[in-house]
Amino acid sequence: MNTVLAIDIGGTYTKIGVVTEEGEILISKVFNTRSKDSFDSFFQELVTEVNLLTSKLDQDCKILGIGVGAPNANSYTGNVENPPNLKWGKRIPLAKSIKDSFELPVFIANDANAAALGELKFGMAQGMRNFVVLTLGTGLGSGIIVNGDLLLGEHALAAEIGHVNVDPNGRQCNCGLQGCLEAYASVTGIKRTVFGLMAKMRVDSSLQGVSFDDLTGETITNAALKGDELALKAFDVTAAILGRKMADTVAHLDPEAFILTGGLSKAGEVLLKPVVASMEKNLFIAYKGKIKVLISEAPRESTILGPAALAFKNLKTLAIQT
Amino acid sequence: MNTVLAIDIGGTYTKIGVVTEEGEILISKVFNTRSKDSFDSFFQELVTEVNLLTSKLDQDCKILGIGVGAPNANSYTGNVENPPNLKWGKRIPLAKSIKDSFELPVFIANDANAAALGELKFGMAQGMRNFVVLTLGTGLGSGIIVNGDLLLGEHALAAEIGHVNVDPNGRQCNCGLQGCLEAYASVTGIKRTVFGLMAKMRVDSSLQGVSFDDLTGETITNAALKGDELALKAFDVTAAILGRKMADTVAHLDPEAFILTGGLSKAGEVLLKPVVASMEKNLFIAYKGKIKVLISEAPRESTILGPAALAFKNLKTLAIQT
């Protein structure tokens, strides 16, 4: 059976697995990325875990290549560049290191770009040719598919929709700019909105008993789903901003759909309804009523499907070229 | 000699010409679009003018196809849809009408999209694979090239960057929305800025002697080039907004360059310097210093080169397919 090894490196956890072309995860493992350690120590553990995992595979299982999704990974250079949440340094030759260790073709992409490929091959975007994935997690990641393929741009840096500007005098962003979308429409963003609303509103809310450090996206989502006024208001504020900026994205790309994923998307209709209303209100007339907004059905554990899709896609291109 | 017939339909003038693959305009003609007349009357004149023009061509000159650039032209359907500046009605089968009259392959695109193809084949973008053309005329048109080809999107409606939002409480736009970029960064936009600044500033300016109806982009540009304080301030305000929104475009597309064209771009450095400063200030760190901003060198009369490039490109694709 033909498979690929998929590696999804996150700021907190790294997931590895062996995946078939049908998207079946034959075997997988999660380990702590230990983001404060050096790249060398991470890489040693990665090699050990991969060897351990693949040693358990059936003999008829052939690994054709390796797909890697990582924050700030550059598909052209194979490097991870300035990852803000990993203490790895400026420029890590991740693709080359993996290739040297396993002697297999290695394909690498920014994590959100890999997620878009995962939705295209295995998820809700099967058969779509133009769509945008927004991962509403700690930050806001994005992946853009145009004409059935990943939009990489001139320097493989396309799709940083988390850093479009909402308000030039707005919130400070981790990236150094002011007013980035990610500072509003992400788990961290809605948390900041909750505390801003506490300053502004008179309301009884279960969230008032939780500290800034302790408040999670899950807590806010659960409160909203139970009808907590403050939490619902926070979703409305977040969705109004996100929907407005999604209308800007449509005015660039004219996609068939947006697919929302990540922690914040677990709120379902509580997020979706006001997002669609705000987007439609702000859409240029030619687009109105034409753009779908969907919530990803991919379970959280399936993030390795993105890197797996990346590997299958590039192996196919290689096969055509040679 | 192999040539194409190129047709550029504007709100005021329609230009037609016969163009070689090297971008030489062998023969051309301009006539009034008479935007208030019906499509039928326009089309009759178009056919007459084309026949007159082509009758003057040398016998060895072979027209292989026809490229058409028109406002709100849809490359997938071949129709012109709801053109706001033409009284043609909701949906005009322009490509089909032309094909039926001349019995040649006809290719059609939104005017700004055609302009991007013109820069790619004949202009400053030769050899580029990822760039964005912004036409700063009466409105703000845009064309996006990704991986060396035109970005059309799911409904052939991509690249309406004139209608991204600058300010939800901002200026009314012709399209019905509020705060669109086109209401600021276009000839009409800077004119509105000039009158807004007159209300706000105490200043002596030659522009104060001109009525709203009479003020042209050329007058504002000439005043700025002569050092008129009000005109210069108007360019600074316009450029700050345009540069900020161009940073958003970069966060989607990661282009190699922007190419600015249209009336406002004639101001040269007066526009370019503050645009670049504002864009750089607002760019996500990974893009800083990487994105060029250029002013098109294409003379105003050369707008038929866009439709010509469109025709040559699609004829080549047809030849490969068959």
pLDDT beneath 70, residues of chain B = 322
**pLDDT for A158:** 97
- Between A111-121 and A305-321, two packed helices, what is the crossing angle to 10 degrees? 80
- The count of C-alpha atoms lying within 13 angstroms of the C-alpha of B140, restricted to the half-sphere facing its C-beta, is 30
Which of B247, B286, B290 minimises the CB distance to A165?
A: B247
Secondary structure of chain B in HEC code, one letter for each residue: CEEEEEEEECCCEEEEEEEECCCCEEEEEEEECCCCCCHHHHHHHHHHHHHHHHHCCCCCCEEEEEEEEECCECCCCCCEECCCCCCCCCEECHHHHHHHHHCCCEEEEEHHHHHHHHHHHCCCCCCCCCEEEEEECCCEEEEEEECCEECCCCCCCCCCHHHCECCCCCCECCCCCECEHHHCCCHHHHHHHHHHHHHHCCCCCHHHHCCCCCCCHHHHHHHHHCCCHHHHHHHHHHHHHHHHHHHHHHHHHCCCEEEEECHHHHHCHHHHHHHHHHHHHHCCHHHCCCCEEEECCCCHHHHHHHHHHHHHHHHHHHHHHC
Q: Which of B80, B254, B280 to mutate to test the interface with A (most CBs of A within 10 A)?
A: B254
Q: Quick one: A2-110 is in which CATH superfamily?
A: ATPase, nucleotide binding domain (3.30.420.40)
Residue B160 Cα, gap to closest chain A Cα (Å): 5
- For residue A109, what is the enclosing H or E element? strand A106-110
**pLDDT for A322:** 63
From chain A, pick out residues whose CB is under 8 angstroms from the CB of B159. Answer: 251-252, 254
- Please tell me which residue of chain B has the smallest CA distance to A157: B254
Q: Which of B81, B173, B252 to mutate to test the interface with A (most CBs of A within 10 A)?
A: B252
- For residue A81, what is the enclosing H or E element? strand A80-81
**C-beta of residue B79 within 8 angstroms of C-beta of residue B97:** no
Contacts of B16 (CB under 8 A, 6+ apart): B5, B6, B7, B8, B28, B29, B30, B31, B46, B49, B50, B53, B304
**C-beta of residue A235 within 8 angstroms of C-beta of residue A271:** yes
From chain A, pick out residues whose CB is under 8 angstroms from the CB of B317. Answer: none
**pLDDT for B322:** 63
From chain B, pick out residues whose CB is under 8 angstroms from the CB of A177. Answer: 282, 284-285
**pLDDT for A12:** 85
Query: Are residues B177 and A144, on separate chains, in Cβ contact within 8 Å?
Result: no
Q: Quick one: A125-297 is in which CATH superfamily?
A: ATPase, nucleotide binding domain (3.30.420.40)
How many contacts, defined by CB atoms under 8 Å, are there between A and B?
A: 128
Query: Are residues B153 and A130, on separate chains, in Cβ contact within 8 Å?
Result: yes
Cβ-based neighbour number of residue B173 at 10 Å: 22
CATH code, residues B2-119+301-321: 3.30.420.40
Which of B159, B177, B248 minimises the CB distance to A164?
A: B248
Query: Are residues A153 and B253, on separate chains, in Cβ contact within 8 Å?
Result: yes
pTM of the predicted protein model: 0.95
DSSP helix/strand/coil, A91: strand
Across chain A, which has 322 residues, the per-10-residue mean pLDDT values are: 95 93 95 90 96 93 96 94 83 95 96 96 96 95 97 97 97 94 97 96 94 95 96 98 98 98 95 98 97 91 92 89 66
Contacts of B119 (CB under 8 A, 6+ apart): B125, B131, B133, B259, B261, B296, B298
**pLDDT for B108:** 97
Q: How far apart are CA A280 and CA A294, in angstroms?
A: 14
Which of B72, B252, B290 minimises the CB distance to A252?
A: B252
Which of B82, B248, B254 minimises the CB distance to A154?
A: B254
* Domain range B129-296, CATH architecture: 2-Layer Sandwich (3.30)
Amino acid (1-letter code) at residue A49 = E
**pLDDT for A69:** 96
DSSP helix/strand/coil, A88: coil
From chain A, pick out residues whose CB is under 8 angstroms from the CB of B255. Answer: 153-154
Query: Given this chain, do its domains A2-110 and A125-297 carry the same CATH topology?
Result: yes
- Between A229-253 and A269-282, two packed helices, what is the crossing angle to 10 degrees? 40
Q: How far apart are CA A51 and CA A285, in angstroms?
A: 55
Tokens, residue B53 = 């023009």
Smallest Cα–Cα separation from B262: which of B160, B153, B185, B319?
A: B185
Q: A289 in the Ramachandran plot: left (φ > 0), alpha (ψ -120 to 50) or beta?
A: left
Ranges of each domain in chain B: 2-119+301-321, 129-296
